[in-house]
A and B are shown apart, each in its own frame.
Chain A
Amino acid sequence: MESFEGKSLFLNRSDINTDEIIPARYLTEISKQAMGPHLLEDLVLPGFNPTSDVPDKGVLVTRANFGCGSSREHAAWALEVNDINVVIAESFSRIFRQNMFNCGMLAAPLPPETIDHIFETFADRETHVETDLEQNMFVFTAKDRDGKEIREEIPFTLGEFDRELLEAGGWVNYADSRY
């Protein structure tokens, strides 16, 4: 299975589309690795700089309808080759969500209030997120201004089929063994 933890990247906007995640001009690449440097390259968001903000992150937290637009799985791969295997959002586009699980990656929707709360508490801090797949729980940790640890456990739900895809390492393995 992929690793589902790491430092968190916060993107505070809804409807981030696949062209913003990986622009069409890189779709002529045939290797996944080639997507790496171009993740979120066209995303215009105040305070966000892809060159400095993307490296060494493991988890992405964002708002509603993440990954809308094209069907390109390149969007999931661009995250994967940057070691970001978890996206937490208010909601996802159908195809993007399916692509994530098909690649054995985790797309977890959380209620808007919870996402609001996460942004309020953690977005301005260096935050680490761990995923407990047994308890269906994210563990967010950061330090407050006095250096004291802030720690929150945030439950999520995972469909049975999605869990099986994660365990099988994606849909090709799952389908080939079954159909």
Chain B
Amino acid sequence: MGKTIAEKIFDTHLVDNPSGDIHVIGLDSVFCHEITTPVAICDLMDRAKDRVFDPNRIKAVIDHVTPAKDSKTAEQGKILRDWARRHNIRDFFDIGRNGVCHALFPEQGFVRPGDTIIMGDSHTCTHGAFGAFAAGVGTTDLEVGILKGVCAFSYPKTIRFEIAGDLPAGVYAKDVILTVVAELGVNGATNKVIEFTGETVDAMSIESRMTLCNMAIEAGATCGICRPDMTTVEYLWPFIKDEFDSKQAALDAYAAFTPDPDAVYDSMISLDVSGLCPKITYGYKPDCVKPVADMAGEKIHQVYIGSCTNGRLEDLRIAASVLDGHTISDAVRGIVSPATPTIYQDALAEGIIDIFMKAGFCVTNPTCGACLGMSNGVLAEGEVCVSTTNRNFNGRMGKGGMVHLASPATAAASAIAGSIANSNRYKK
């Protein structure tokens, strides 16, 4: 019987099968940030188990609130920093080198096809874009990951999402994933992996695939996953060129983590995107999705472009192509957070930051900040924000605030208009 990508990864990482379909798998990497890891560190210390399974396979970053905004966030950063030093965790990213974890770690070449990764962060599913099994976990799973390099999961069932058709102008991976989440519902993929496949995905950049996989959790999925292909190899080449004689050799090796033609899926869903229009969320759940056209004209107070969903160079380029030559509405505060220092520098070099600043945007350092309402753009009661992030829960970006999730193009257009707007209004 054929296997899915996730099944192949599980079968090559099995450590124990304590009962039924529970598989304890070995981990290639454990990723850490300063919000969920300090509690794990403190608990390990309380238990007199302050050890790490392998300092080279632990990667850590301070990204959620950076620079620290108060004594409590300073303390969280300090606990992580001290721990990284104490255990010789070389891949630790502090101020000046830090950025949003799910953008930074792939950019550093830490994610490979077939890898198993956990992190105390639900959007860890992003890394599935490389053909890895990457799952968000709670603090206890993280603790055991740090200590033992293992994690327990039920053997994965997979939903196959076959996406076909060319994306129309002004429609992006974000519009596709909002459509997918709306179709599945916030509970539709719970305990399952979503394999994104089809010609549309094949044609996508790694960045766009990350946007797709990033929001798999919004349908409840354990992980989103894309098959590794030449696009994956090209992206990884600077990091793997000493491992393989040629790109083809790398591709052949990674074929071990492509799905078999006779793989068995929990369900198979097809989506034709050739007629798709830009989408945006309403309400407080990410599956409440409408065409932007249906919401056009609704007044907004803030636009946020950034995050692990849409804070990469590709996203900033798209937003800048809409903003170019325009200034944003007086009624709107525009905030852009390039997701990593490299993205920031590249955006500077390409003149993108200049476009944002001329348009009237505030450019922040790379951080999660506003995405989870902790710093750098918290909403006041009753305020409305169009955001390129992934969660519109009540209070997510500030108590009493309303968040509409959309693509960078829609966000940029809405900033110019001062109300929800389709990017075709401005893009040349």
Contact = CB atoms under 8 A, between A and B. Distances in A.
Interface of A: 14-15, 17, 19-20, 23-25, 27-30, 42, 44, 64-65, 68-74, 76, 91-96, 98-99, 102-103, 159-161, 164, 170-172, 175-176, 178-179
A124 to B, nearest CB: 26
Given A24-B396, A65-B220, A159-B19, A72 B373 contact: no
A69 B374 contact: no
Nearest to B378: A25
Best-buried of A19, A71, A102 by chain B (most CB within 10 Å): A71
Interface stretch (B73-81, B291-299, B306-314): B73-81
B200 to A, nearest CB: 27
A51 to B, nearest CB: 16
B268 interface: no
Given A171-B144, A175-B148, A64 B138 contact: no
B86 interface: no
Contact of A15 (B36, B136, B186): B186
A96 B356 CA distance: 39
Given A24-B396, A71-B122, A93-B190, A176 B148 contact: yes
Interface string B336-366: 0000000000000000000000000000000
A25 B16 contact: no
B15 interface: yes
Contacts of A176: 49, 144, 147-148
Contacts of A170: 140
B391 A69 contact: yes
A23 B190 contact: no
B140 A25 contact: no
Interface string B1-38: 00000000000000110111010100000000001101
Contacts of B42: 30
Given A42-B394, A159-B19, A30 B144 contact: no
A176 B145 CA distance: 11
Given A71-B137, A72-B138, A28 B76 contact: yes
Given A24-B373, A30-B76, A160-B20, A175 B144 contact: yes
A42 B381 CA distance: 13
B394 A20 contact: yes
Contacts of B143: 172
A73 B35 contact: no
Contacts of A92: 190
Contacts of A178: 16
Nearest to B148: A179
Which of the four size classes fits the interface of chain B?
35 or more
The 8 A-B residue pairs with the shortest CB-CB distance, nearest first, are A73-B138, A102-B140, A99-B138, A28-B72, A73-B139, A160-B19, A71-B136, A65-B187
B19 A71 contact: no
B18 A98 contact: no
A29 B70 CA distance: 12
Contacts of A64: 187
B140 A159 contact: no
B120 A71 contact: yes
Given A71-B137, A175-B147, A19 B396 contact: yes
Contacts of A103: 140
B39 interface: yes
B95 interface: no
A95 B138 contact: yes
B73 A93 contact: no
Contacts of B222: 94
B121 interface: yes
A27 B65 CA distance: 11
26 contacts: A15-B285, A24-B372, A25-B373, A28-B70, A28-B73, A30-B38, A30-B76, A64-B187, A69-B122, A70-B136, A72-B35, A72-B139, A91-B190, A92-B190, A95-B122, A102-B138, A161-B18, A164-B18, A171-B144, A175-B144, A176-B144, A176-B147, A176-B148, A178-B16, A179-B15, A179-B16
A91 B361 CA distance: 43
B425 interface: no
Nearest to B372: A24
B190 A102 contact: no
Contacts of A65: 186-187, 190, 220
B390 to A, nearest CB: 10
Given A27-B36, A70-B391, A71-B124, 16 more contacts: A19-B393, A20-B393, A25-B374, A28-B65, A30-B39, A70-B121, A73-B138, A93-B190, A94-B190, A99-B140, A102-B140, A161-B19, A164-B18, A164-B19, A172-B49, A178-B16
Contact of B186 (A68, A96, A102): A68
A68 B394 contact: no
A93 B49 CA distance: 29
Contacts of A171: 140-141, 144, 152
A14 B137 CA distance: 22
A79 B260 CA distance: 43
A7 B393 CA distance: 29
Contact of B141 (A23, A91, A102): A102
B87 interface: no
